[in-house]
Amino acid sequence: GWDTWQADLFKPAAPLLAKAPWVVVRGNHEECARAGQGWSRFLDPRPFDTTRSCDDPVNDSSGNYSDPYAVSLGGGSQVIVFDSAKAGKAALPTNDPQFIAYQKQFQTVATLAAKPGMTTTIFTNHHPILGFAPIAGANPAPGNLALQSVMSNLNAQAYYPTGVHVALHGHVHDFQAINFASAHPATIVTGNGGDNLDVALPDPLPAGSV
């Protein structure tokens, strides 16, 4: 309800909200089974739609997904916002409804990234795609396999479409700034605010990771 959203976000964030516009990215805590109803009412940039409101589980197949959109930053820069709220950890078969939904979203990302005149495009979603998930006592997990399976079907091992320069994520409770030896976009993970931190990543990372 509103009281929880007010206590968790709107009241403590009021000074920052008054200073600058925000670009809000949907994560797994805002999927329909969790805080999706509040997301659809308070943070979703689209007009309210009862079929996407997460009120009725019958409509969750549409409520858990939304089309990517771009926010212009001026000067040839933009942020592409991607909804990965429902993304799991395992690779998806091509006939999975979730694969099909995310494939459509990434096709939209490619169109947005190809906009003429853009010199810097930042792709942002919640789940790190080529970042790492720390695992105590083991090598870190290499990114989100569900989203990778969709992206590699469209762009092979490039994953991202041409025109994406930086990827910005959260979800994992640490900070990562990764530059790849390959041509993949630089990856930044900023999940280190407001929660308990994950175990530290190994230093250096396992051979072949970057």
**90 and 103 share a domain?**
yes
**123 and 155 share a domain?**
yes
pTM given for the model: 0.94
The residue range of the domain holding 110 is: 66-205
**189 and 97 share a domain?**
yes
Domain-located, residue 28:
yes
Rounded CA-CA distance 73/191 in Å is 23
Beta strand 175-178 pairing with 186-190: antiparallel
Helix, coil or strand: residue 138: strand
**137 and 199 share a domain?**
yes
Residue closest to 112 by CA, chosen among 85, 81, 142, 90:
81
Instruction: Say if CB 210 and CB 180 are below 8 A apart.
Output: yes
Helix, coil or strand: residue 169: strand
**117 and 54 share a domain?**
no
Q: What is the dihedral of CA 187, 185, 144, 102, to 10 degrees?
A: 130
Give, for all 210 residues of the chain, the pLDDT tens digit.
899 999 999 999 999 999 999 999 999 999 999 999 999 999 999 999 999 999 999 999 999 999 999 999 999 999 999 999 999 999 999 999 999 999 999 999 999 999 999 999 999 999 999 999 999 888 898 899 999 999 999 999 899 999 999 999 999 999 999 999 898 999 999 998 878 899 999 888 777 555
**119 and 201 share a domain?**
yes
**107 and 18 share a domain?**
no
Instruction: Say if CB 82 and CB 123 are below 8 A apart.
Output: yes
Core vs surface per residue 29-53: b (16+ CB within 10 A) or e: ebbbeebbbbbbeeebeeeeeeebb
Domain-located, residue 12:
yes
**151 and 106 share a domain?**
yes
**102 and 40 share a domain?**
no
What is the token pair recorded at 186?
Answer: 């630089």
Domain-located, residue 210:
no
Dihedral sign, Cα of residue 183, residue 26, residue 118, residue 150: positive
**5 and 49 share a domain?**
yes
CA distances from 145 to 131, 153, 158, 203 (A): 11, 12, 14, 23
**80 and 184 share a domain?**
yes
Number of structural domains the chain divides into: 2
Q: In CATH, what number is assigned to the domain containing residue 114?
A: 3.30.750.180
